[in-house]
Amino acid sequence: MALRLYDTRSRSKRTLETLVEGEVGIYVCGITPYSPSHIGHARQAIAFDIIVRWLRKSGFLVNHITNFTDIDDKIIRIANEENIDFLDVANRNIDDYFEVMDLLNVNRADSYPRVTETIPEIIDMIAKLIENGNAYSSHDGVYFEINTAPEKYGQLTGQTLEMVREGAGGRVSETGTGKKNHRDFALWKIAKTGEPYWSSPWGDGRPGWHIECSVMSLQHLGEKFDIHGGGSDLMFPHHEAEIFQSECCLNHDPVVQYWIHNGMINVDGEKMSKSLGNFWTIRDAISKVHPLELRYCLINAPYRQPVEFNDVMLQDSSSHYRKLLATYGEALSNYGKTNWKNSSFLQQAELEFSNGMNDDFNTRVAIVEVQTVVKYLREKLDSNLEDEISACVSWLSEFAGKVLGILPDDEVIRKDILDVENEKMKIHDQVMDLIKQRQIARNNKDWDNADQIRDKLNHIGVIVEDSPNGPIWKLK
């Protein structure tokens, strides 16, 4: 099955046909680092990490670019409040971003351009847009004139020029007493007192938001490239502004062959927002669950769908993930890996997994296949079928590990298992004595005493499960 992806601009799934055969250039709008990264950042980074992993698994040579918008009104405000340089604010939050993304097993992009390192190129593009008649200088900056290319309006959202005054997401109407028209947007903003600035032909100032990504994407991927991604909240005005800028500057379209957008995070049915008090940083989430449990949670829906995030969903995903890890770890440490391609069951699982991923990177289908293989592996472990067990380990390592990124390194798993076994050895005699007492209480139908003994076991971190072959215990 050929790889098809949903292109926001055409509003349809299209077969991926790249500009250079066997190669993909992909630009993903990154964070504005004014605060620690939140789970919305995690959702986007993980989604595009898996997209890039699947493209590479499919044989493409991928050039993956993600930017940092390291100059912004919020960054400046926080820097002024703390009486520090604006780059100190940006740098500490970029450091936080990399730390939490490493914990979430997000592979690094090939390059991370920053706005403050791209100012000369931004000035050059603005000058070209003025020369082409698409932009004009005013007393408070430089603006792109929408009316010079009205046919490009609504390319991603379907909005018309008449619809733009409301719901512009805040930054389409930023400042602008010098605008000819309220629809025009800033390319260069003259600095206010106390703001950082750079020299330009139009006065000391800094770039507008939209021009930055146009310049950085073209600088790193060329005048035409394959995929531009980001959150669905960026479609308007940011990505539509990029279409205006890039295509009017270069005088050709399309510059971007495919536009793809991930869904947003809703918390308890409402859009995540600090003002609503339902805001989760990534560190908030991973204080409750392991980072890879959070990753598992966030890919349990196709990337374009919104994610309804709450404690119940997080704990449910954690339960499924722990079953995966426990089963995989048991098989890995006792049986190792062999070639899975001789197994008809695993061949079919690969086909279903691949069909899902080739259908617009559907990770929900992929997760279902992983769960199917885990269930199959559990059955083979109970039957001691060594060849099938080792084949399942190999399959999971390739698809759950390398593609979905939800398995730790094998050596980490082996070490964790050894650590657990050592912990179990320390309390083995105590646990066995309590289990024996509990069994006597149950035989005597002394349920209160049996429950008290179970509470003692829970207190030392032990869970007891009753099975047909007697009680089984494990650490929490």
Q: Give the Cα separation of 172 and 153 in Å (integer).
A: 13
Q: Give the Cα separation of 114 and 212 in Å (integer).
A: 9
Question: Do 245 and 275 fall into the same domain?
Answer: no
Question: Do 73 and 181 fall into the same domain?
Answer: yes
User: Which of residues 382 and 225 earns the better pLDDT score?
Assistant: 225
Question: Do 370 and 425 fall into the same domain?
Answer: no
Residue 414 lies in a domain: no
For residue 117, what is the enclosing H or E element? none
Q: Give the Cα separation of 212 and 255 in Å (integer).
A: 16
Residue 413 lies in a domain: no
The number of distinct structural domains making up the chain is 3
Burial of 194 (0-12, 13-18, 19+ CB in 10 A): exposed
Question: Do 87 and 35 fall into the same domain?
Answer: yes
pLDDT in tens, 382-396: 888 899 999 999 999
Tokens matching residue 120? 């000369």
Do residues 412 and 105 touch, judged by C-beta distance below 8 A?
Answer: no
Question: Do 22 and 100 fall into the same domain?
Answer: yes
Residue 28 lies in a domain: yes
Question: Do 192 and 128 fall into the same domain?
Answer: yes
Q: Give the Cα separation of 178 and 203 in Å (integer).
A: 14
pLDDT for position 435 = 86
Q: The CATH number of the domain where 284 resides is what?
A: 1.10.730
Q: Residue 270's pLDDT band (boundaries 50, 70, 90)?
A: confident
The DSSP code for 84 is S
> Residue with structure tokens 């199917």?
372
Looking at 377, 408, 439, the residue that finishes a domain is: 408
Question: Do 284 and 219 fall into the same domain?
Answer: no
Q: Give the Cα separation of 23 and 371 in Å (integer).
A: 32
Residue 251 lies in a domain: yes
Residue 451 lies in a domain: yes
Provide the domain limits for residue 435.
Answer: 419-475
User: Which of residues 368 and 267 earns the better pLDDT score?
Assistant: 368
Q: Give the Cα separation of 20 and 410 in Å (integer).
A: 36
pLDDT in tens, 276-331: 778 899 999 999 899 999 999 999 999 999 999 988 889 899 989 989 998 999 99
Burial of 355 (0-12, 13-18, 19+ CB in 10 A): middle
Q: The CATH number of the domain where 211 resides is what?
A: 3.40.50.620
Looking at 355, 381, 408, the residue that finishes a domain is: 408
Q: How far is CA 101 from CA 67, 90, 97, 469, in A?
A: 15, 16, 6, 43
Question: Do 28 and 133 fall into the same domain?
Answer: yes
Q: Is the confidence at residue 114, as pLDDT, over 50?
A: yes
Question: Do 246 and 306 fall into the same domain?
Answer: no
> How far separated are the first and last CA of the chain, in Å rounded?
42
Which of 256, 328, 268 has its CA nearest to residue 292? 328
pTM of structure: 0.89
Question: Do 384 and 426 fall into the same domain?
Answer: no
pLDDT for position 173 = 46
H helices of 173-276, where? 209-221, 240-250
| CA angle in degrees (0–180, nearest 5) for 17-19-20 | 105
pLDDT in tens, 390-435: 999 999 999 999 999 999 999 988 876 655 555 656 677 788 888 8
Looking at 408, 432, 450, the residue that finishes a domain is: 408
Do residues 65 and 48 touch, judged by C-beta distance below 8 A?
Answer: no
